[in-house]
Structure formats: structure tokens, C-alpha cells
Homo-oligomer: A and B are copies of this chain.
Amino acid sequence: MKKYLMSPGPTPVPEDILLTMAEPMVHHRTPQFIEKVGEAMEGLKYVFQTDHDVLIFTSSGTGAMEGAVSNVLNPNDKALIITNGKFAERWGEIAESFQAKPIYLNVEWGEVCDPQEIAEILQENPDIKAVYTQLTETSAGVVMPIKEMGDIIKKTDALFVVDAISGLGGQKFYMDKWNVDICVAGSQKGLMLPPGHAYAAVSEKAWKMVEKCKQPHYYFDWLTYKKKLVGDHKDPFTGSVLHVKGLLKFLEKIKSDGIENRFKRYKVLAEATQNAAKALGLDLFAKEPCDVETAIKIPDTVDGKKLVKLMRDKYGFTIAGGQKHVKGKIIRIAHMGYIEAFDVISVIASLEIVLKELGWDFKIGSGIAAAQKVIIKKYKF
């Protein structure tokens, strides 16, 4: 059976990237490869929309998240963490692991915070060292008001740290223009690569705080990366050669498409998926849906876990279900990375077929028709 990977990470990897990665192994310390590392770091600046340094780590995205805590917060340092989903909660887990003192601004999953509340908390707690949030919180399919948050945080001494692991390259984002100090990302989402690489872009304001941090670490010691990777384009360790090669191929693609066109593409795919869901009589989970995935509420009469399983095992579509307390209650369909218009059409078709099997009442084809209308009107092939 043909397989379709439509989950919010790992996302499908273009065939030419996979084949580039399958080329014979090269040594990581040759001048030729060191030059490639430099090109990759430079190219990533375009993806982050930044002039700051971009670091590359061989790890999952969580490794870069850990670094954005353990290189910034000393024990007992205050940090503001906005929690509106599973990955937002991970910021809190990491901060607590390093004995920092998080202040939580708890928001319901799928909702966004009011930036004004952040301003108030920062005013009441001028000793907050950093504010941690997500660009897109994939567990809930929501996008955060990064620009508005940046406008507030830039006026303070606090760093603005954004986890863009699931959004970068797909969801509109401008690190420098939006006053973000640290942005972390992973390879396996909008960057169309397999999991294994993590990235962090670091502002001058952030480097100053990193220099003062005294947490114990070695593998994720960002000052070592600054010296060796930024300075000499040498990974301090033996990093993933394959991912550097794949990354260069991805960078060619995104530069040739233009990042603004990518932002538009995923926005249209999001609207198509959202309209399809509504046409099938389903509600969206997120109050502010992001462009890189769509989280859809599953009605109580339908078994959400079975739906995900049937789509995968009977029809070949891997989408994601809900995590933690929304397990079985929502589904999440990704439209990021190497996912284009007809992939979205296909996943909606399979969703319709499975919804029928599970007894949900709607007119077959109505979801697809709603998506098609958006695609005809707005998608740029």
C-alpha cells in the first residue's frame, strides 16, 4: 500500500534530498566539508530571517531547547513560560531540570495568550531573565502572536526565546524584525529533512547572557559552538554529515521558491484544510490556527483513536492524534515541508472515507470540494 506521511514531524523528505544524503560518506574535517558547513550556517540565516549567528547541533530539536535554557538561566533565575500545549510545557520541564524558577502563564491548549498579560508580568517581575514560547504549538495547532510579544519584551532586559521547531520555513516568521533573541528549530518539519539536526539562532543580547551562564554542560555548551562552529565552521564534535548535505539541498529549494511564497503556500493549504473540516461538520481545535498543521476536534460519537489507526493501517495515511488530555479528541493533519496541494486533497479524501466508516453523517466529497475551491482560487502551482 502506498504510504502518505502527513504528520507534524517527521514530515516527508523530498526524494532528491534523500538521495543526496545517500551519497558516499565524506570526512567532516576536510576543507571541502568545512566550507559546506559554513554555507549551511549562512543559508539558515535566510530561513530564520536573521543576521545573527545560527548554530547547528546533531540532536533532536529538544537538544536545542535544552541549550536555550541551560546556556541562559542560572539556578534560581526567573523565567516566564507561556504554556498552551505539550511543547510549551516542555520549556517548563527543562527549566525545572536546571533549577530555574519558571513563572507560568497558563493558557488553555489551543488558545493564545494576551501579550498585555506578558507586559504586566514582566513589569511585576523585572528580574525575569527570559520569556519562552512557541511559534506554532503543534500539540494544539495554534500560532502565537510573536510579533506583538516581541514588541513588549524588547523593551525589557529579558530575552525572547521562541521554539520554532514545528513552524520554521512554513509559518510566517521574521526573527530580527520581530525582536526574537533565541530561536530554535529542528530538521524534520518545515525544513524537509529527516530528524537528527537541531538549530539555534542567537542574538547579541542573548550571547551576553550566555556568557554569564554557569550551568554545567558540555555537548550543548553554546560558547564552544560559537568559538568552533561560528568561528571556524567546524562542528566541535563529529556531527551529522548527512544532515549538512541534505540541509544544503533544502536551502537551494527554499531560496529558489522564495520564503514569502512558501509562507503563502502553507497558508493556502491551511485554509483549504480548515474549510474542508468545517464542510464535514467538524470544528477546529485552535482559536488561532497555524499554517503548518490543522488540529480538528473529533465529535464525541466518533472514536478518534480508531480514526487515526484506520487512516494509517487501512489507507496508508499517517496523521497525528491528540496528545495528553486531548488524546482521542482531536486529529492533526500537517501541511508543512514537502506537502503540496494534492497531498492535502488526498488526506481529506481518506479522512472522509474513514469518517463514513465510523458513522459520521455528511455528504461524501464535500470536504474535498471545499478544499478545492480554496486551492483553485489561491494556490500557486
Q: Report if A215 contacts B (CB, 8 A).
A: yes
Do the beta carbons of B61 and A238 come within 8 Å of each other? yes
Q: Report if A40 contacts B (CB, 8 A).
A: no
Chain B residues positioned under 8 Å from A75 (CB to CB): 216
**Interface SS majority for chain A:** loop
Out of B19, B30, B188, B195, which one reaches A318, CB within 8 Å?
B30
Chain B residues positioned under 8 Å from A106 (CB to CB): none
Q: Report if A94 contacts B (CB, 8 A).
A: yes
Do the beta carbons of A238 and B60 come within 8 Å of each other? yes
State which residues 79-114 of A face B: CB under 8 Å. Answer: 93-94, 97-99
Chain B residues positioned under 8 Å from A12 (CB to CB): 24-25
State which residues 6-50 of A face B: CB under 8 Å. Answer: 7, 9-13, 18-19, 21-28, 30
Interface size band for A: 35 or more
Do the beta carbons of B21 and A60 come within 8 Å of each other? no
Do the beta carbons of B63 and A216 come within 8 Å of each other? no
Do the beta carbons of B97 and A59 come within 8 Å of each other? no
Docked Cα-Cα span, A221 to B220, in Å, equals 14
Interface string of A315-338 (1 = CB under 8 A from B): 000100000000000000000000
Q: Report if A240 contacts B (CB, 8 A).
A: yes
Interface string of A213-255 (1 = CB under 8 A from B): 0011111110000000000000101111111000000000000
Do the beta carbons of A10 and B22 come within 8 Å of each other? no
Chain B residues positioned under 8 Å from A9 (CB to CB): 238
Q: Report if A171 contacts B (CB, 8 A).
A: no
Docked Cα-Cα span, A24 to B11, in Å, equals 10
Out of B30, B63, B235, which one reaches A312, CB within 8 Å?
B30
With contact pairs A30-B318, A240-B195 given, residues A218 and B62 touching in the complex (Cβ less than 8 Å): yes
State which residues 183-220 of A face B: CB under 8 Å. Answer: 186, 188, 194-196, 215-220
Q: Closest Cβ of chain B: how far from A79's Cβ, in Å?
A: 14
Q: Report if A294 contacts B (CB, 8 A).
A: no
Do the beta carbons of A241 and B10 come within 8 Å of each other? yes
Do the beta carbons of B194 and A240 come within 8 Å of each other? yes
Interface centre among A23, A28, A242 (most CB of B within 10 A): A242
State which residues 277-334 of A face B: CB under 8 Å. Answer: 312, 318
Do the beta carbons of B22 and A241 come within 8 Å of each other? no
- Closest-by-CB residue of B relative to A237 is B60
Chain B residues positioned under 8 Å from A216 (CB to CB): 70, 75, 97-99, 215-216
- Closest-by-CB residue of B relative to A26 is B5
With contact pairs A18-B22, A97-B218, A242-B196 given, residues A237 and B10 touching in the complex (Cβ less than 8 Å): no
Out of B5, B93, B186, which one reaches A238, CB within 8 Å?
B186
Docked Cα-Cα span, A94 to B69, in Å, equals 19
Do the beta carbons of A22 and B25 come within 8 Å of each other? no
Docked Cα-Cα span, A60 to B59, in Å, equals 8
Q: Which residues of A contact B (CB under 8 A)?
A: 3, 5, 7, 9-13, 18-19, 21-28, 30, 58-63, 66, 69-70, 75, 93-94, 97-99, 186, 188, 194-196, 215-221, 235, 237-243, 312, 318
- 15 A–B contacts from the bound complex (CB under 8 Å): A3-B26, A10-B238, A12-B24, A18-B24, A27-B318, A58-B63, A59-B219, A60-B235, A60-B239, A62-B219, A62-B237, A62-B238, A97-B218, A98-B216, A240-B240
